[in-house]
A = this chain, B = another copy of it.
């Protein structure tokens, strides 16, 4: 399977076979985390973050470093030429001279797609607009696989802002490759968008929608909690209404199966109480370390 030079725009561009190949390579990467490697010795990654990011940005940096590569870029568009009014396409056509692959997080999803048409080097979408965050979805799937040894057959709850969150949408599409039961848990005003539900149904994915976690907690094998992202809400008063709607704590998890595992893309701001951190359910910090492996796998696949 050849990923060399491939753009990573959307989780929907990847078949189950391709995902499983990536996951196999990701597991192989584990040894390099401690020892390092020279696989990407003379390669340069450009990290272009037009929106704030800690973990996504730094995990790409760490992934390149662990493979012997180098990273340049910016994390603050105010200081860049975007401040002088440059279009993303122009930025890309310049940066492609300086780097062998480009990671972009941008507010406008269309501009990232457009950029791929002009770039001579592969582009990785690191979360753009409200649409997609494919490498997050891949690491989420990989995390489930590593912690449960399977994805097929699981009942997976996804809770939080299902309307504006880009993480959950990509994850749901990714899970549609497997034989899972999805349970979407959200307040009325943050329910998963209708078009996504229709896409998933077409894929044959079994879906249940509820607004109360208590109703379904005991059925779940995996609970995926997301942050309510204030910055995605067009109307701040709408945010105020749902803020703090969900806070998972030890009491919430009492009716859960013994082997329920809880994920969160992080950062959390109150959606999961820290009293959950030391329970057997918590897996969100492991999840973040799996992210490193998946990004190492992707970089090694598209750059070699």
Chain A residues within 8 Å of B, Cβ to Cβ: 35-36, 41-42, 44, 46, 49, 52-55, 58-59, 61-62, 65-66, 70-76, 78-86, 89-91, 93-95, 97-99, 227, 229, 266-270, 274, 285, 288-289, 291-292
Residue numbers in B under 8 Å from A90 (CB-CB): 266-268
A269 to B269, CA, bound (A): 39
Whether A58 contacts B266 by the Cβ 8 Å rule is: no
Q: Is the CB of A62 within 8 A of B267?
A: no
Residues of B contacting A292 in the complex (Cβ-Cβ under 8 angstroms): 97-98
Q: Is the CB of A42 within 8 A of B35?
A: yes
Tell me whether B55 and A81 are in contact (CB under 8 A). Answer: yes
Which residues of chain B are near A49, meaning CB under 8 Å?
79
A36 cross-chain contacts in B, Cβ below 8 A: 41-42
Q: Are A62 and B72 in contact (CB under 8 A)?
A: yes
Contacts A75-B79, A269-B85 given; indicate if A98 touches B58 (C-beta within 8 A): yes
Contact call A61/B98, Cβ cutoff below 8 A: yes
> Whole-angstrom distance between the alpha carbons of A138 and B75 in the complex?
29
Q: Which residues of B contact A85 (CB under 8 A)?
A: 267, 269-270
Known contacts A84-B52, A85-B267, A268-B90; A58/B46 CB under 8 A: yes
| CA gap between A97 and B46 in the complex, in Å | 21
Nearest-neighbor residue (CB-CB) of A99 within chain B: B62
CA distance A89 to B41 in the complex (A): 33
How long is the Cα–Cα vector from A94 to B76 in the complex, in angstroms? Answer: 21
Q: Are A54 and B91 in contact (CB under 8 A)?
A: yes
With CB as the reference atom, state the residue of chain B lying closest to A268.
B90
Closest to A62 in B: B98
Let me know if B52 and A94 touch, CB within 8 A. Answer: no
Identify the interface centre among A54, A80, A267, A269: most chain B CB within 10 Å of its CB.
Answer: A54
Residues of B within 8 A of A72 (CB): 58, 61-62, 65, 71
Inter-chain pairs besides A81-B266, A94-B266, 5 sampled, C-beta below 8 Å: A44-B62, A52-B83, A76-B79, A86-B269, A93-B288
The answer, among B42, B58, B285, for a CB contact under 8 Å with A93, is B285
